[in-house]
Structure 1
Amino acid sequence: MINVERLAEVFANDSYEIQSVYRLVIQPKSLLREFRTLKYGFLFITRGSNQINVNGTVYELQPGSVFHAAPGMQMEAQVTSEAELEYYSVYYNLDKYYSENSHHECNAHFRLESGVIPRVIELLLMLQQNIHTPGGLGKLRAKELFLSIMHQVLVGHKNRELSGSTDIAAIEEAVAYIKRNYMNPLTLEELAEIHAMSPKQFSYFFHKHTGVRPIDFVIQYRMERASELLRVGNFPIRDIAVSVGYANPLYFSRAFKKRFGVSPSVYARQACIQVSPGCEQKDS
């Protein structure tokens, strides 16, 4: 069994460099005959399914599967779906100190099952587009995107492992996930998939343990964060809207007024007056 916390520590702390990223589409029933791997890398399956045999161990991969291999491994693969296989491959270099340590977590083959997470696919596309950006800032951006991908994948994998345990633990993790990601687009389907449940099942357990539906909780939490920003700074409403996950300031203002009874600008003006009578607040 994969130690998710240890693997997270490896990619958070150890020395490595993202080298290349490819998106590949393979025709149905294609066979990749036995070869020896040359690099450290991940395969992120986004469409179709395939079977990989690495050093005698067989892995069945489908959308949401993430497979890792290290250099010097014997591998062969075959597309097992009737449709095309689509995946992203991400290759990286590991510092020599770690690559020569046979017990290091990266010197192994393993599979992670995070489920299909739309945000991961978006991040993979962004990583592919940014991987060849030159200079230190380009490398920093690539690593930032890779770490975001790995965080989503590891959280998804951990949640699926916990799905057989108490639903309370799963919902507590879901609440924590929303609080970490409230500024990003979130849907019921995505939240349910990440936490290894159907949308109906996830919504039932979430309401059971929190008293509100998942998307209502997302909206409430966003509004609370927005109210904090309106109280502590003289920020334009459109900037606050984007900061809490709303690209449309008008939609944000309607949601805010529904939650607090007044528009964001009125709320900010009232908060401002309480602190310093006569102050002014930006409306846009």
Structure 2
Amino acid sequence: MNQISALPNPLEILFQEYNQGRIESVGFRSFTLHAGESNSYRTLKSALIVPVSGRAIFSFEHEPFIAKRGLFLHGCPDKTLTISALGEQDFHYINMYYENDRPLLFSHKLKNPEQTFSILEQILKLHPDADIRSQYQQEKLTEEFFAQIFADFQPEETYNESQIMSILLDFIAEHYAEPLTLDALAEQVNEKAGHVSYLFYKYKNIRPIDYLINYRVRIATELLRSGDYTVTQAAHEVGYRDACYFSRIYKKRMGFPPTRILP
């Protein structure tokens, strides 16, 4: 007798995609659909859909899902999506978009809905193009959002690792101009240096030292564009005492020397 194999868990598939660096946010956006209204369009990207208030039906080419506070939905590109608000209350929801062609359609319960909403509200208030610190803050909050999405799948591991990464990224943001080492980062979270490297590869797909260098280069770029700093001064501000060495690193990362962006 043939044994029927269990269908793969779509959230597990999504979690694996995330661990392999295949899910990277390209933006968050808030929407409101008024009571009794419907909206229909062709989806272009994958999206994590988080209902905030009200209720609606999301129908992906006649595959319906109830959307309400406490759940999240996953949608995929190249589908005709019809959203119909239910009841007498406006339906408010937030989408996180990302590029991925895997055809996953499902809904799942949020383990910590209020915390998830708080994270999303903070993200929506940010203007990531404003400066490097806003960009960093959005990256950090996005990682916290993913931790909430996957909290029910691997709650302890995901949450603890997310906490560790949050501490490490905060530490780099505050001390990037100091002579940081991998051991110094590991000491901040009471972990082995090898585990810190593993976490950076897992969550950022980069070595800790490369993340630090990229962060310094981005800060230096802002300083140089302001017109208030010379190359030497900008180098000193981000932790390089040798301006020539800084210029070599900058050119290697950016493809052009730092003098090019001086006003």
TM-score, normalised by the number of residues in structure 1: 0.47
Gap regions ≥5 residues in structure 2: 1-7, 164-187, 189-263
Match of 2:38 among 1, 9, 31: 31
Q: Tell me which residue corresponds to 2:79.
A: 73
Instruction: Tell me, yes or no, if the aligned pair for 1:23 and 1:89 is still in contact at 8 Å.
Output: yes
Match of 2:26 among 19, 22, 37: 19
The CA distance in 2 between the partners of 1:62 and 1:76, in whole Å, is: 16
Aligned-partner SS, 2:150: helix
Instruction: Tell me, yes or no, if the aligned pair for 1:21 and 1:131 is still in contact at 8 Å.
Output: no
Match of 1:147 among 111, 119, 143: 143
Q: Tell me which residue corresponds to 2:55.
A: 49
Kindly provide the amino acid, as one letter, of the partner of residue 48 in structure 1.
G
**2:93 pairs with 1:87:** yes
**2:113 pairs with 1:117:** yes
C-alpha root-mean-square deviation of aligned residues, in Å? Answer: 3.2
Q: Tell me which residue corresponds to 1:207.
A: none
**2:67 pairs with 1:61:** yes
Instruction: Tell me, yes or no, if the aligned pair for 2:85 and 2:91 is still in contact at 8 Å.
Output: yes
Deviations 1:223-251 (A, max 9, x none): xxxxxx9xxxxxxxxxxxxxxxxxxxxxx
Structure 1 residues 65 and 138: alpha-carbon distance in aligned structure 2, compared to 1, 3 A threshold: same
Matches within 5 A, 1:232-271: none
Matches within 5 A, 1:124-273: 124-130=120-126, 132-134=128-130, 138-156=134-152, 158=153
Aligned-partner SS, 1:124: helix
Structure 1 residues 109 and 136: alpha-carbon distance in aligned structure 2, compared to 1, 3 A threshold: farther
Q: CA deviation at 1:177?
A: 9.1
TM-score, normalised by the number of residues in structure 2: 0.50
The CA distance in 2 between the partners of 1:70 and 1:138, in whole Å, is: 28
Q: Tell me which residue corresponds to 1:107.
A: 103
Q: CA deviation at 1:59?
A: 0.5
The CA distance in 2 between the partners of 1:177 and 1:71, in whole Å, is: 27
The CA distance in 2 between the partners of 1:30 and 1:15, in whole Å, is: 34
Q: CA deviation at 1:78?
A: 0.3
Name the count of aligned residue pairs: 158
Aligned-partner SS, 1:155: coil
The CA distance in 1 between the partners of 2:129 and 2:137, in whole Å, is: 9
